Amino acid sequence: MARICLSLTGRTIAEDLAVLDLYRGQIDLVELRADYLEMSEMLNLRAFPERAGLPCILAVRRRSEGGVFDEGEGVRLVMIAKGLTHARSDTSANFTYVELESDFRVSAVEEACRIFGTRIIRSRYFFEGPPENLDSAWDELAANLEETPKIAVMCRNAEDLARLAGWAKGLPSREKIIIGMGPHGFATRIVADMFGSVMVYSSAIVAGLSVAGPGQPDPATLHDVYRFRRIGAETKVYVLGGGVSSLGSRSPQLHNAAFASAELDAVLFPVPAENAREFLEAAEALGARGAAITVPHKESILPLLGSVSEEARAIGAVNTVLRGPDGIWHGFNTDTIGFERALREFLGRADLTGLRVTLIGAGGAARAVAAVLARLGAKGLIVNRTLSKARELARRHDFSWAYNDERSLDLVLGHADLIVNATSIGMSGEEAGDPFDWYEFTGRETVFDLIYNPVRTRLLQRAREAGCVVGNGLGMLRHQSAEQFRIWTGREPPADYFE
């Protein structure tokens, strides 16, 4: 089972040790990134393993390899030698590993590692994406069976992740480290065992240290959100498909807590993708059994699925997929039930008869919202930057439609009991904005934003300052996620799912 390694990037040994103490219960070993240390700390390198009290990796990473060391190879060699010399008979007082790049071949250092029991991690980094011939690169790293080969590849997209996952499955069983760097490589940090990795690297983000590598999570995220130590070969994989902003979603926290409460060996994590096709390819390469779908893939994924539920087809968008035993993907939409339940809780009423509502947006989420508003008896107005899309959606439900700008002020004022934002404008990770920035709130409106991250968008903040009652989409997320749980597992979600 893969272990969690904390990469320490403090300026001093004392700072690194203080941060280590904050995470001690969440990690299994620690990497001292000596390239971040002040040069005056060189004499203290040797004492670090004993003071740390955990298996330790020594790394002095060159800037060309993603580190910050640029004092020259001679100085770097001296630092590595300082860390390895005067080895103790008690091996716990020595560095367990030292990382040496594939082009760093110094026989004296390698011999010292063999004598003192320090294992070499032989590494190579590809920051421009996977090399054309991964096998050739691997053969060079894996030639010495006494060393631990490490290959780190920048995943530029979900396609790179799928390629890396497929390639890693064919590697022989031995101690090795496979890393997909960047947001699109996040899966390699969560299901490291699937890639055959003996460890996953993390950074002390919460403690304020510099992130040691692109895409490294905080140990608390691995430990608390993803239950990393419980993930194994038999763990069922579910994924979240969306853009890079999906890395900030609350879905993993909700679903993984539910899996834990239901005592299911399962995990959900985000797989950012540029398009729906690449997402599904990556999901299949990771062996995913199901997925939650968010923007921008809710509509574009439809033609790629083997079947779509009647409700999802009527809405024209999917937010949940299940992969059958035959490998065929089946699509569903739980946005409607999620929104309806959340809206009823927010408004404290069972129906919307007589309520005049402005709905901002005409995409997949807006179509689910419009269906609920119509079913509950509201009189609706759809506003959108593209009038034809607003008109198309409005006609489905006998609603009015208008441009989302000042030209529609009189219409909006006549439909301002409730204003609902169903666009992604204002979402964390997206370009900050306000989808209704031209409208001046009177304070009599009730405003609901499907976005929940940030908790209060610019739209909600403006409305609240004007005296409006406001609410966000976290309740909707919880209810729609509960339905996803039912679809994926065939079971009722645990009682504490909504806490």
Q: Are 441 and 468 in contact (CB under 8 A)?
A: yes
Q: Using CA atoms, how far apart are residues 390 and 233, in angstroms rounded to an integer?
A: 47
Q: Using CA atoms, how far apart are residues 178 and 83, in angstroms rounded to an integer?
A: 25
Q: Using CA atoms, how far apart are residues 238 and 293, in angstroms rounded to an integer?
A: 11
Strands (E), 366-411: 379-384, 400-403
Active-site residue, 298 included: yes
Buried b (16+ CB within 10 A) or exposed e, 57-90: bbbbbbeebbbebeeeeeebeebbebbbeebeee
Look up residue 103 and give its DSSP letter.
Answer: T
Q: Using CA atoms, how far apart are residues 282 and 176, in angstroms rounded to an integer?
A: 22
Catalytic position from the list 150, 298, 379, 389: 298
Q: Are 188 and 215 in contact (CB under 8 A)?
A: no
Q: Using CA atoms, how far apart are residues 68 and 276, in angstroms rounded to an integer?
A: 37
Closest of 176, 179, 225 to residue 205, by C-alpha: 225
Closest of 76, 56, 77, 55 to residue 67, by C-alpha: 76
Closest of 98, 105, 92, 109 to residue 52, by C-alpha: 92
Q: Are 96 and 132 in contact (CB under 8 A)?
A: no
Which two three-digit tokens encode residue 142?
Answer: 């894996």
Which two three-digit tokens encode residue 279?
Answer: 């997402």
Q: Using CA atoms, how far apart are residues 135 and 125, in angstroms rounded to an integer?
A: 14
What is the separation of C-alpha 478 from the centre of its chain, rounded to a whole number of angstroms?
18
Query: How crowded is the C-beta side of 233, counted as CA atoms within 13 Å?
Result: 4
List the 199-203 sheet strands across, edge first: 177-181, 148-154, 119-126, 97-101, 56-59, 29-33, 3-8, 199-203
One-letter amino acid of 367 = R
Query: How crowded is the C-beta side of 425, counted as CA atoms within 13 Å?
Result: 19
Closest of 286, 295, 283 to residue 321, by C-alpha: 283
Q: Using CA atoms, how far apart are residues 127 and 214, in angstroms rounded to an integer?
A: 10
Active site positions, annotated: 298
